[in-house]
A and B are shown apart, each in its own frame.
Chain A
Amino acid sequence: MAYPANFKYTKDHEWIEVSGDRGKVGITDYAQQQLGDVVYIDLPEVGARVKAGQSFGTIESVKAVSELYAPLAGEVVEVNTSLKDKPEAVNKDPHANWMIVIKMSEPAAAASLLDASQYADLVK
């Protein structure tokens, strides 16, 4: 699966799609492959503050439980609640099934994240 060129990526295998001061966050195809079958995703409430590199939730697969890390700091303004009942959607299409939308406190910081080709190299 190709890594979309309009996303930015973290070394912790999250992606963020920046649009103005908003950033849509999900996990990468590589992450879902490593996790295997996802059965539960625990996401924060709207209004929660997140910090760059810190956990904003957990994702659980048959194999293991992993933390979800925020690529950038800000406030959670939207949560994809459909993942509560359909967590397996993340396996099927990880780059379309976002988890949260962050209103970024410092949108310019996105420039410091990996771009698609750098991320593709990282997981090669």
Chain B
Amino acid sequence: MVAFGGWDMPVEYSGIVSEHMAVRERAGIFDVSHMGEIEIAGKNALEAVQRISCNDASRLAVGQAQYSGLLTPEGTFVDDLLVYRLAAQHFLLVVNASHIVTDYTYIAEHIQTAGDAVAVDASSRYALLAVQGPRALEVLQPLTGVDLASLKYYWFAHGEVANVRATISRTGYTGEDGFEIFAPPQSADRLWLAILEAGRPVDLVPCGLGARDTLRLEAAMRLHGNDIDQTTSALEADLGWIVGWKKDDFIGASVLRQQKAAGVTRKIVGFELLDRGIARQGYDIYADDVRVGVVTSGTQTPYLKKSIGMGYVPLTLIDPGTEFDIDIRGRRVRAQVVPMPFYKRKK
């Protein structure tokens, strides 16, 4: 168990590699109740969300979700989040556990000028279980009346799962098909056990933080605190697709528009090590013995069986096939830029 954002969380149950493989090949369940939930509601809730979230929430139908960022005026990340449109003027933001207070304070301050809208930290009202993997649907369907097959990627529905009132969302942080289930905390253990039981025929396994990290990294999903933070802009992080360029003003908009016009000087890339080892967060990247960048995430991936990572490098080094060196505790290891995501599931 490790301390994580105020929670005690298991790094692994049966082992990172076996949990990772279970999610790629069958199904796994994660207790991600540590994630924070902030609700924004009121007559002008949409304007409020549009101000603080960089993606364009007006494009969301009720029942739909989107990935977005909570940015500083410099266009860098206070946090990343999912925005769920619960009703026309009622939104649910799912944020990282360690930033709940920071995010809430930041949001509350910045929506004051948006009109009639209030933000509520509702984190203690939600437990969150993620069921991920190609057989996740098969496991969950018998437990719920919601027609899961008709629920599209990044859409959600309200209903019951194992007789527990829940919101089921077709989202996840693994690069695999799957669902995330919001439920009342007092029913979370019952729900967890019911899903474990229903998952027995497909050998669904409980998964910890370790596999969550290796899975998201294989899928090249950014982790706040590693790959994105208050020093990296949305464009440097290659997340221009979550910026609502057509929106009116939002926090970070003017800097991002300038960066888009002028171009950025460094960018995140995915790389593969050409020799053994793991390039971990903070290790330096060298080109011809000059320090040019830094690794933000790295692991040995159980499924691809390669040592991969992400890091920021100058634009001259971002093309796939480009090579550079990474200093792994005094040993220089050659790495090659590869396209992201490292892993993409077959549709």
Contact = CB atoms under 8 A, between A and B. Distances in A.
A39 B307 contact: yes
Contacts of B300: 37, 39, 62
Contacts of A42: 331
Contact of B210 (A39, A58, A60, A62): A62
Interface string B315-347: 000000000000001010000000000000000
A90 B276 CA distance: 16
Contact of A65 (B11, B299, B329): B329
A63 to B, nearest CB: 6
B16 A36 contact: yes
A36 B329 contact: no
A63 B16 contact: yes
Nearest to A42: B331
Contacts, number: 39
| A contact residues, range | 10 to 19
B53 to A, nearest CB: 34
Contact of A84 (B15, B276, B307): B276
A62 B301 CA distance: 8
Interface residues of B, number: 17
Given A39-B300, A39-B307, A60 B277 contact: yes
Interface in B262-281: 276-278, 280
A63 B213 CA distance: 10
B214 interface: yes
Nearest to A88: B17
Interface in A35-56: 36-37, 39-40, 42
Given A58-B329, A62-B17, A65-B329, A40 B277 contact: yes
Contacts of A62: 16-17, 210, 214, 278, 299-300, 302
Contacts of A63: 11-12, 16, 210
A9 B280 CA distance: 31
Contacts of A40: 276-278
B125 to A, nearest CB: 33
Nearest to B16: A62
Contacts of A65: 278, 280, 329
Contacts of B280: 65
B154 to A, nearest CB: 29
Nearest to B11: A63
B297 to A, nearest CB: 13
A37 B276 contact: no
Contacts of A58: 329
A34 to B, nearest CB: 11
Contacts of A37: 15-17, 300, 302
7 contacts: A36-B12, A36-B15, A37-B15, A39-B300, A62-B210, A63-B12, A84-B276
Given A60-B277, A65-B329, 8 more contacts: A36-B17, A37-B17, A39-B300, A60-B278, A62-B16, A62-B210, A62-B302, A84-B276
Closest 10 CB pairs of A and B: A39-B300, A37-B17, A40-B276, A40-B277, A62-B16, A62-B300, A36-B16, A60-B278, A62-B299, A36-B15
